[in-house]
Homo-oligomer: A and B are copies of this chain.
Amino acid sequence: MRIIIVGFGVVGQSFIKILLSKSAELYSTFGLNPRVVACVDSNGMAVSPQGLDLSRLLEAKRMKKSVSAYYGNKKFCPSTSEIIESTEAEVMIEVTPTNLENAEPGISHIVSAMKTKKHVITVNKGPLALAFSSLLELAGYNNVRLAFSGTVGGGTPILEFAKKCLRGDRILSFRGILNGTTNYILSKMEEEGLTFQQALADAKQKGYAEATPKLDIEGYDAAAKLAIMANWIMSRKVSIADVSRCGISEVDLNAIRNARQKGKAIRLIAYCDNDQLNVMPLEIQPDDPICVSGTLNAVTFSSEYSGEKTIIGRGAGGLETASAILRDLIEIRDSISVPFDLMA
């Protein structure tokens, strides 16, 4: 199966590392023989219809900071969309950074891939948070799959759980913690009495928060994930703009202490049912299964017959998110009905 990788940061590289370490097992268990025919990062690209050497690709990135070093002096100059459209491949994996303003460049990459009949796997939240239904419609029109397990929960299969494990039942609502950075900050304030600024500094120092952490702190990241879940799980036609959103920058130590005196804890909770769609700091019971500490994510689904079910796991991480890409790739492999030998 021929693959184009667009974006080659921690997640993209982790995915290549998994392919390198698992190739025999992927073929024997899933009939999957992935061949990376193009890899693009912000400084250039490497293309080979025969398949790139994955170790050399990682080495080029490590030594020269760009996959463009793969061929030494040789330069490729077309735009990323041109490469996506003109390279023959079955799957395009979109791993560029999330942009919640206008979803670029991810959304253009996805459209280019689908227009040229390539299946798409994305871990980029921007395109789906802004244009979920149009993208799914475009995928249907072009008869390709749009897979996005890694957009919510990192490696924790929150979307799959809701779709695959509760068939015949009906999810009435769900609520949870979708952003690890803010949960880390709130946990630190609660457990160690740090101020918001101190906890934020600590999160930055540990690599849990970006240098400009507005997307996390103000609840945009959680709202993007909530919009994706609302579309996928509850069949709502919404975008991030429809989410009532309030971040945690106004949560001070007094609020945390007041909650504690009432036997409660403050968490940034995303909630969705057939009417509501919101992200806001709320007081919850410490023995509520979603009341997790640190960078964990947690979601409770309320269903018609089988009651409440909670899933908890790490919501980020390179290897974790790369494992979600692999799950999607295996699903796509399964869905393609050409003969095993030809397709693998």
A residues with a Cβ closer than 8 A to B are 18, 22, 26, 30, 154-157, 160-161, 164-169, 287, 289, 292-293, 296, 298, 303, 305-314, 317, 319-320, 322-324, 326-327, 329-331
Q: How far is the CB of A154 from chain B (nearest CB, A)?
A: 7
Contacts A292-B289, A312-B289 given; indicate if A165 touches B169 (C-beta within 8 A): no
Contact, CB under 8 Å: A327 / B156: no
Q: How far is the CA of A317 from the CA of B306 in the complex (A)?
A: 8
How far is B157's CA from A154's CA once the two chains are assembled, in angstroms? 21
Among all A-B residue pairs, the 10 with the closest Cβ atoms: A155-B306, A157-B165, A309-B313, A305-B323, A168-B326, A310-B312, A306-B323, A160-B165, A306-B320, A289-B312
Counting chain B CB atoms within 10 Å of each CB, the highest count among A22, A306, A314 belongs to: A306
A239 to chain B, nearest CB (A): 26
B164, A309: Cβ atoms closer than 8 Å = no
Which residues of chain B are near A310, meaning CB under 8 Å?
A: 310-313
> Would you list 23 pairs from A and B whose C-beta atoms are within 8 A, ordered by A residue?
A22-B168, A155-B305, A155-B309, A157-B161, A157-B309, A161-B161, A161-B165, A164-B164, A165-B165, A167-B327, A168-B326, A168-B329, A169-B323, A169-B326, A289-B296, A305-B322, A305-B326, A306-B313, A306-B314, A306-B319, A307-B317, A308-B314, A311-B312
Given contacts A314-B308, A317-B307, contact A323 B168 (CB under 8 A): yes
Per DSSP, are chain A's interface residues mostly helix, strand or loop, or mixed?
A: mixed
Q: Which residue of B lies closest to A165 (CB)?
A: B157
Would you call B167 and A164 a contact (CB within 8 A)? no
- Cross-chain contact of A26 among B22, B168, B305, B322 (Cβ < 8 A): B168
Contacts of A329 in B (CB 8 A): 168
Q: In the assembled complex, which residues on chain B have CB atoms less than 8 Å from the CB atom of A160?
A: 164-165
A330 x B157 contact (CB < 8 A): no
- Chain B: CB-nearest residue to A334: B167
User: How distant is the Cα of A319 from the Cα of B330 in the complex, in angstroms?
Assistant: 34
| Nearest CB on B from A308, distance (A) | 7
Q: Which residues of B contact A330 (CB under 8 A)?
A: 167-168
Residues of chain B lying within 8 A (CB to CB) of residue A305: 18, 155, 319-320, 322-323, 326
In the complex, which residues of chain B have a beta carbon less than 8 angstroms from the beta carbon of A306? 154-156, 313-314, 319-320, 323-324
